[in-house]
Structure 1
C-alpha cells in the first residue's frame, strides 16, 4: 500500500499537536483503548491492526521527519513538540515507545468491549498515547467495520443455505467483492478488500488480495473468474448480442470452468428466453463448465427471482432433499446491482417463498461493502481510561449527562471470557487467575505477536 505520507508525526489531527502542553504536571503514562460502542451490529470482527503496525509503526521516524513536521505544524498555526520527538529519535532510534495490546485478529467480540489498549512505555512520552488516536483509530474502525458487514452477510446467506440447500459447501464464494472502483483510494480498497476476505474467498479487488499477502503472509486468499462487462458485450452491437454471448462460451467455457456473463444490456428476458434458452441452449448444456447469468438492473428482488424462474423453464431444475428447486449444475445466477445485507436477505427470503434454493444464487457487493460505512456505523472511539500522575494511577473517563452512550471506561483494562456475554471488559486489577484476551502485539517498534491470514479466518469462524 502507498500513502500520502509515511511520516507518523503528520498522521494526526491538527489539535493533537498542542496536547502535550495540556496534561497535568507529573503525568508519566496514559493508557487508552478502542471500542465499538453501538450501531448496526451487536458483535464486531476485529481486523486490520497488523496492517497498520507493519506499514506505519515498524518504520522509525527520522530527523528529516521531525524537520518536515516542525515546518508544517508551525506554518499551520499549532505548537510542535520538537523536543519530544527528538527524544524518541535519540533514545529509541525513532521507534515509538508505546505498547499496544489487542484481541486476536479475526476474533468475533461483542461491542462495548476493548479491542485495543495502548500505553506509552517511557515516562517522558505520556503525550504520545493519545497523539496516535487519529491514525490508530482509523486503522481499526474501517477494516473491522468492513469485516463485520461481510461477516453478517455470511450469516444471512448461511441461514438460507441451511434452510433451502442440501449443502453449505459453497458459502465461501457466495459473496463477491465488487467494491474496488467505489473505494475512496487504492489503500482503502486494499484494507477493505482484505477485510472482506476474512469471511469469503471471492473478490475482484486485487488490492485486497495483495494486502492479505503482504501483511498476513497469505498464499492466495481470493479468487475470481472471467466475466463480461457491458462494454465488451455492447461492442458487438445489438444485432450481434447472441454472437457476443457465444464468444464468451468459446473463450472461457470448458470442463469445470466458470464464466459470468452480464445479460441485461438490452432486454434481459429476451436474452434468457431466446438467446441463452434457445439459440445457445445446446452450447450452455454441453460446454462442460458453469455459466453464471448476471442481471444488472431493475428491482433486485423481482429481477432475481424471475431470472431464476425463466432459466428453470428453459433448462429445467432438480428438487433437492429439502424440497427446493435447483438449476442444473451448469447454470447459476449472480446479482451484483443494489446489493447490501438487507437486499441479500430480502432476495433469499423471496426465493425461499418461491421454493428456489439459495444454491442458485451468488452476490456481488460493491459500495455497500467497502464504502457505505463510516466510524459511526459501529460508533467507534478511542478514549483514555487511565493516567499515572506523580507515581499514582488515576481513572480517566468521560460521562456526559447529555449522552450516556458516550460514557467511557475507567482504569487499566483487560478482556476475559464470560459465560453469559462471551467476552467482558474488566479492570486489569480484577483479572485474578483469568486469562487476559488482550495480548501485547507491539512494543517499542517491535511486532510481538503476528497472525497469518489462515489464523485470522479461523478466529472468525469460531
Structure 2
C-alpha cells in the first residue's frame, strides 16, 4: 500500500518557514516535552510507530513532489510560498531519506512532567527548515503517550484498592481488570491501533484487536497481548423479548459450559435478572460451572446500580469475608462495569465498594471512549519547541518566555515558558531531570539516538516497553 505523501503531512503555515528563518540559519534543534497536565508523569510511547510508518527510508518520490507542488500552489494561491527545490534537494542528494537526527527516552519510561522526552535536529545545514516541518507529524506521539499514561494511572488506582481490600494473591488478576472497549469509539482505525497498543503496556484485557496487531507489527511483540472472552451484546439478549430473557441466559451458559463468559443483563431489568434468573433459576448451574460468569450492567447510575447488584448477588450466591474484612463472591460469579467508566468514576466506584465492605476483586471494568478518545494534546500539555539554533556559524540558545494576564487582570509569567539550549535527560538520585548538555558530564544521558538520516538506528520491542513501565511480558 502506498505511503502517505510526507510532503503534505504538515500544517500549511510551515511551508513558508524556510523564508522566515533568519538569513544564515543552518541548524534548528527542538525538543518535545509534556509541560504539565492531569497527571504528574507521562509514559513516553509511540515514537517507533511514527518513525517506521512515516519517516523510515525513502519518504517521498518525484511523483509525490510533483503532486505536492500543484496541490500547495492551490492552497496558497501563489507560487512563492512552497519551494519545491527544498524537497528536490533531499530527493536528489539523499534519495528521499530525511537528514535529521532524533534522540528519545526509552519508550515505556515514566518521566515526570516538565522534562525533555525527545529531541530532533537537522544533520544537513541546507535542511534547517526540516526540523520543525516534522513537528506536525511527530507531535502526534502525544496520543499513544497520553493513552499509555492514563491506562497506567488507572492501574495504580486499581492496585491501591486491591492492596486495601482484595484477598492476598488476587492482584495476579489485575492485568484483566481494565479492558479496552474503545475500538468503536475512536476516530480512526489508526487511533484504535496506536491507542490500543498503548493500553497493552499496563493491561492485557482488550477487545481491541488492532492494538495487539500494532504491537506485533511495529514493536515486534512475540505474542498477542490483548486477550478477551466470549461475551454477549443486547442483540443476543433481546432476541426473545422480555419473556424470553431467561431462555437466552440458559442458552448463553450452555454455549460455553466452561471458562469465563460475560453476559449483558440490563436489557429489561438488571435487578430481576440478577435475583430471579442468575440468582435463583440458574444459580446451581453457575456454581457448578468450571468457570466464571461475569454479569454486565450497562445503564443507570454506576455506583447505585453496582451496590444494588452486589447486594442481590451476595444474598443469592453468599460470600466469604477475606483476611482484610471485605466481602468476596464465589469465584464462579463476578461483575463488569462498562458504562460511564472513566478515571474519576473508577475511583468513586472503588470508594463506594470499600465503604460497603465489598472487595475490589469482585469487579472488572470496560473502558471505551474515555480511554482512547476523551483525551487531547492538552491532557498532558505536550509541546515541541526550538531550544537551540546555529546562525551564521554561531550556536545560540533559543527560548520563549511569555508574559500573560490572568483572569483577575494580573500580569504573570506563563507556564508556556520553554527551555533553552541543547538538552539532555539525566537521573539525579533516581529522579529524572532535564539539564543543559554541558551540565553533569558524569551522568548518562537518558536520551538515545533512535533515528538518523532516514534510518532507525535503535529499536525497542514491546516486551522492553512493558518492562520499562514495570510490567513483564
Q: TM class, shorter-chain normalised?
A: over 0.9
Please say which of residues 402-411 and 336-345 is displaced more in the overlay.
402-411
In structure 1, list runs of 5 or more residues that go unmatched.
Answer: none
1:23-422 → structure 2 map (5 Å cutoff): 23-60=21-58, 61-77=60-76, 79-138=81-140, 140-165=141-166, 166-167=168-169, 168-218=171-221, 219-254=223-258, 257-402=259-404, 404-419=414-429, 422=431
Q: Distance in 2 between matches of 1:335 and 1:444?
A: 48
1:427-446 → structure 2 map (5 Å cutoff): 427-446=436-455
Report deviation, 1:236.
Answer: 2.1
Residue pair 1:43, 1:108 contacting (<8 A) in 2 also = yes
Secondary structure of 1:265's aligned partner: coil
Report deviation, 1:385.
Answer: 0.4
Q: Distance in 2 between matches of 1:59 and 1:315?
A: 61
Report deviation, 1:175.
Answer: 0.2
Report deviation, 1:452.
Answer: 0.8
Q: Distance in 2 between matches of 1:214 and 1:306?
A: 44
Report deviation, 1:338.
Answer: 0.3
Report deviation, 1:59.
Answer: 3.8
Report deviation, 1:418.
Answer: 2.0
Residue-pair matches, total: 456
Return structure 1 stretches of 4+ with deviation > 4 angstroms.
none
Residue pair 1:216, 1:451 contacting (<8 A) in 2 also = yes
Report deviation, 1:419.
Answer: 2.1
Report deviation, 1:391.
Answer: 1.4
Q: Distance in 2 between matches of 1:271 and 1:313?
A: 14
Report deviation, 1:127.
Answer: 0.3
Q: Distance in 2 between matches of 1:13 and 1:456?
A: 31
Report deviation, 1:322.
Answer: 1.1
Q: Distance in 1 between matches of 2:70 and 2:255?
A: 58
Q: Distance in 1 between matches of 2:178 and 2:311?
A: 21
What is the TM-score when the length of structure 1 is the normalising length? 0.97
Residue pair 2:195, 2:211 contacting (<8 A) in 1 also = yes
Residue pair 1:59, 1:95 contacting (<8 A) in 2 also = yes
Q: Could you tell me which residue of structure 1 aligns to residue 469 of structure 2?
A: 460
Q: Distance in 2 between matches of 1:407 and 1:395?
A: 14
Q: Distance in 2 between matches of 1:211 and 1:448?
A: 20
Q: Distance in 2 between matches of 1:24 and 1:295?
A: 61
Q: Distance in 2 between matches of 1:258 and 1:153?
A: 23
Report deviation, 1:112.
Answer: 0.6
Secondary structure of 2:30's aligned partner: strand
Residue pair 2:342, 2:371 contacting (<8 A) in 1 also = yes
Please list the CA deviations of residues 90-118 of structure 1 after superposition, one character each: whole Å capped at 9, or x if unmatched: 11110110001000000000011010100
Report deviation, 1:277.
Answer: 0.6
Task: Give the one of 12, 18, 34 matched to 1:14.
Answer: 12
Residue pair 2:57, 2:455 contacting (<8 A) in 1 also = no
Report deviation, 1:253.
Answer: 2.7
Please list the CA deviations of residues 131-160 of structure 1 after superposition, one character each: whole Å capped at 9, or x if unmatched: 00111001x111101111111110100000
Q: Distance in 2 between matches of 1:429 and 1:68?
A: 45
How well do the aligned residues superpose, as a CA RMSD in angstroms?
1.2
Higher helix residue share: 1
Secondary structure of 1:441's aligned partner: strand
Q: Distance in 2 between matches of 1:230 and 1:59?
A: 47
Secondary structure of 1:461's aligned partner: coil
Q: Distance in 1 between matches of 2:399 and 2:239?
A: 62
Q: Distance in 2 between matches of 1:230 and 1:136?
A: 40
Q: Could you tell me which residue of structure 1 aligns to residue 407 of structure 2?
A: none
Q: Distance in 1 between matches of 2:186 and 2:238?
A: 26
Report deviation, 1:169.
Answer: 0.7
Residue pair 2:338, 2:367 contacting (<8 A) in 1 also = yes
